[in-house]
Amino acid sequence: MTRLHSDPRIQLLTQIVDQAFQRKSWHGTTLKGSIRGLTVAKAIWRPRSDRHSIWELVLHTAYWKYIVRRRLTRDKTLSFPRKPSNWPALPEQATARLLQEDVALLQSEHDLLIAAISEFQPSQLNRCAPESQWTYAEHIHGIAAHDLYHAGQIQLLKKLRI
């Protein structure tokens, strides 16, 4: 369990990121909610060969949670467990077990990100992350928007497949 930060800005950013991923909110389906009950057939389906599947979106969102955490912690020794980086390859044999492992990876990256945000120094929020034009606050807020953007894509993919 993540400790509650004394700074209200950190509390709010933590709440925004967690709400976009898995907490009840007014905006509708969260990223985690959009993949609840996902089958392998739905996860690997794509509307066209040049479009991403839900499974690929799961890995992509996990990767960007990792990237934001790495930027917040400034820990260059961290590495993402799947390759290639931004759009990791799906397994050759798609199975329910492998899908659940990647969904668990997404949850793990989310939990690690929430911990990193909770421990972030508020005095650094308006500074730009190294090698980025965006502030740390923008990275944190942006990852919530990223989750919701892809949650919407996933909801559309599920509807298109019916």
pLDDT in tens, 28-46: 899 999 999 999 999 999 9
Q: Is 74 left (phi over 0), alpha (psi -120 to 50) or beta?
A: left
Asked if residue 61 has pLDDT above 60, the reply is: yes
Domain covering 10-21+28-161 assigned CATH 3.40.190.10 in the classification: no
Going from N- to C-terminal start, the domains of the chain cover 10-21+28-161
CB 54 within 8 A of CB 110: no
- pLDDT class for 50, splitting at 50, 70, 90? very high
How many C-alpha atoms does 157 have within 13 Å on its Cβ side?
26
